[in-house]
């Protein structure tokens, strides 16, 4: 998640921004990056933000440990890019590169998930756990709050309570059905095995949010096998009928 | 460098191919990736080729060590993506994913260069060395050979001899002048400090190739401060007058 320093809360989906320089040859308005996990799709985009771009990386200890364990991330020179450890459930001010307050706070909270793919041990499937390895983020400007949960293996009662009545939630939309990858011949794993709850079905995301009264519900982190990506699919219509939007690159929203 | 399995020798500049699937939902025609160094711009693209795509990674021991030292590259599952160590100056057949011969051979050779940026030690500038850490690649189908040298700190007599009379050379075009980054306010480093020879000047690339009779000379790995990127710049005209082309994404050539 890339946090923009503008007064509006803007949301850049995924990790590769296409923002234009606003001042200077290589400037960008990116003031901070919040990591919600240590898997490739959450962290690899940092490698395109290197080269003397001052910003902060906010993440849990466990996710910072992943960066520390991979020397390639030293391209984010530590004297220029601040690595800030964020404790779970503690609202944390998001700094601007010059140290001033951005007016935004972020709160990271554990959601059910698994270890990053490349850290899995051979043999047994990794356990689902609810720790600082897979987190959601609540971003607030003191007036409105959005939730960003790009990876989540199950809706727990605590998570439902947290999201109830929210102004906006971005949520894991990886798969439509749990066996979708297998049926498409893309791999041997179910969604649960990959740490994702499905969008459809009795235990799916649409059902889990049905009573939560979230005003804007936006699916993201969508696998290319998921039929909701097709604007004219029945599944897209079903998602829309349930009050959900399908996220897209460059999406902005005003709360 | 991405080697295409098609009978033509095609050249995909940089590491992020935009090739379309040819069979199946996620297939690509990429059969092998040859790494010419361990810096981010040479290896980070591997992270977009993950997810059960069978291909080979051909590189020197030192560059494979960089991958081994960064657990994130384990997303290239070792049972699916073969990591093949290539000895310097030994013509090595490029395999197809099914083990068959591609008809291409690659020969890696040392060129002057430095340690990857993120492995530099604080303090003194890293020494330029000519080892298996920064290499060029000669790719041949037995009939024609192209050379691919995206990073090179100096033209040595041995390198000049190797390239003399070649059908095609892709060569490091990072900077136009050695102090270009400093003058543009982009950083404190000269091109030499970053391990690159400049395109212009008495020790530059245009001068170094003047007597080498290379048929097609193509600059790549071009920094966004280099004026040859502008089609109407005097520097671009100077490059063209010296018989050079400026590489671009998706460029193909037939030898």
Task: Give residue A10's pLDDT.
Answer: 32
Band of residue A154 on the pLDDT scale cut at 50, 70, 90: very high
Q: How many domains does chain A have?
A: 1
Q: What is the mean pLDDT of residues A13-24?
A: 49
> Could you tell me if residue A58 is inside a domain?
yes
Query: Per-residue pLDDT tens for B167-223?
Result: 999 999 999 998 898 888 888 888 888 888 999 999 999 999 999 999 999 999 999
Q: Where do we find the tokens 């503690």?
A: A90
Query: Per-residue pLDDT tens for B171-183?
Result: 999 999 988 988 8
Full domain range(s) for residue A39: 2-246
> Could you tell me if residue A106 is inside a domain?
yes
Cross-chain Cβ contact B72/A40 below 8 Å: yes
Cross-chain Cβ contact B185/A25 below 8 Å: yes
CB atoms under 10 Å from CB of B233, counted, come to 14
Task: Give residue B5's pLDDT.
Answer: 39
- Return all residues near B150 (Cβ < 8 A) that are at least 6 apart: B1, B36, B37, B42, B170, B171, B172, B220, B221
Cross-chain Cβ contact B70/A75 below 8 Å: no
In angstroms, rounded to a whole number, what is the distance separating the alpha carbons of residues B239 and B233?
A: 10
Cross-chain Cβ contact A51/B187 below 8 Å: yes
- The phi and psi torsions of A138 (rounded to 5 degrees) equal -105, 120
Percent pLDDT > 70 in chain A is 89
Calculate how close chain B gets to A121, using CA atoms only, in Å. 11
Chain B environment of A70 (Cβ under 8 Å): 70-72
In angstroms, rounded to a whole number, what is the distance separating the alpha carbons of residues B171 and B249?
A: 15
- Kindly state the greatest CA–CA separation across chain B: 52
> Could you tell me if residue A252 is inside a domain?
no
**Does the structure show a pLDDT above 70 at A142?**
yes
Calculate how close chain A gets to B121, using CA atoms only, in Å. 11
Of B51, B74, B185, the CB nearest to A24: B185
B167 vs B120 pLDDT, higher one: B167
Q: What is the CATH number of the domain that holds A26?
A: 3.60.15.10
Band of residue B97 on the pLDDT scale cut at 50, 70, 90: confident
Query: Per-residue pLDDT tens for B157-173?
Result: 999 999 999 999 999 99
Q: Are A38 and A134 in contact (CB under 8 A)?
A: no
Residues in B lying within 8 Å of A, measured between beta carbons: 24-26, 40, 43-44, 47-48, 50-52, 66, 69-75, 117-119, 184-187, 224-225
Cross-chain Cβ contact A44/B44 below 8 Å: yes
Q: In chain A, which ranges are E strands?
A: 2-4, 11-12, 30-34, 55-59, 81-85, 92-95, 101-110, 135-140, 145-149, 168-172, 216-220, 244-246
- Return all residues near B24 (Cβ < 8 A) that are at least 6 apart: A185
State the number of CA atoms in the 13 A half-sphere of B97 facing the CB.
18
Task: Give residue A201's pLDDT.
Answer: 94
Q: What is the mean pLDDT of residues B95-123?
A: 90
Task: Give residue B16's pLDDT.
Answer: 39
Of A69, A119, A184, the CB nearest to B25: A184
Q: What is the mean pLDDT of residues A217-232?
A: 95
Count of CB pairs separated by less than 8 Å, A with B = 66
Cross-chain Cβ contact A69/B71 below 8 Å: yes
Calculate how close chain A gets to B70, using CA atoms only, in Å. 5
ipTM of this complex: 0.87
**Does the structure show a pLDDT above 80 at A4?**
no
Task: Give residue A24's pLDDT.
Answer: 66
Length of chain B: 255
> Could you tell me if residue A255 is inside a domain?
no
Q: What is the mean pLDDT of residues A178-191?
A: 86
Query: Per-residue pLDDT tens for A34-68?
Result: 999 999 999 999 998 866 788 999 999 999 999 99
Percent pLDDT > 90 in chain A is 67
Alpha-carbon A98 to chain mean position: 25
Of B24, B184, B186, the CB nearest to A185: B24
> Could you tell me if residue A202 is inside a domain?
yes
Q: Are B1 and B137 in contact (CB under 8 A)?
A: yes
Calculate how close chain B gets to A213, using CA atoms only, in Å. 36
Q: Are A10 and A20 in contact (CB under 8 A)?
A: no
**Does the structure show a pLDDT above 80 at B20?**
no
């Amino acid at each position: 998640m890339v946090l923009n320093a503008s007064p509006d809360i803007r949301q850049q989906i995924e990790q590769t921004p296409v923002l234009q320089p606003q001042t200077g040859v290589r400037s960008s308005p990116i003031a901070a990056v919040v990591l919600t996990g240590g898997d490739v799709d959450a962290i690899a985009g940092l490698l395109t933000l290197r080269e003397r771009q001052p910003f902060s990386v906010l993440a849990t200890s466990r996710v910072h440990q992943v960066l520390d364990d991979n020397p390639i991330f030293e391209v984010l020179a530590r004297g220029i890019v601040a690595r800030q450890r964020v404790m779970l459930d503690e609202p944390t001010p998001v700094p601007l590169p010059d140290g001033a307050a951005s007016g935004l706070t972020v709160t990271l909270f554990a959601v059910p998930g698994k270890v990053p793919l490349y850290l899995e041990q051979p043999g047994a499937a990794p356990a689902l756990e609810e720790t600082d390895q897979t987190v959601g983020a609540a971003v607030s400007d003191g007036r409105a709050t959005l939730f960003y949960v790009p990876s989540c293996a199950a809706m727990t009662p605590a998570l439902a309570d947290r999201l109830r009545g929210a102004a906006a939630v971005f949520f894991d939309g990886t798969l439509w059905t749990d066996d979708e990858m297998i049926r498409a011949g893309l791999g041997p794993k179910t969604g649960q095995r990959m740490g994702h709850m499905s969008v459809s079905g009795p235990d799916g995301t649409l059902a889990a949010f049905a009573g939560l009264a979230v005003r804007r519900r936006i699916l993201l982190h969508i696998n290319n096998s998921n039929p909701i990506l097709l604007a004219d699919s029945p599944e897209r219509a079903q998602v829309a009928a349930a009050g959900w939007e399908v996220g897209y690159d460059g999406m902005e929203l005003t709360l």
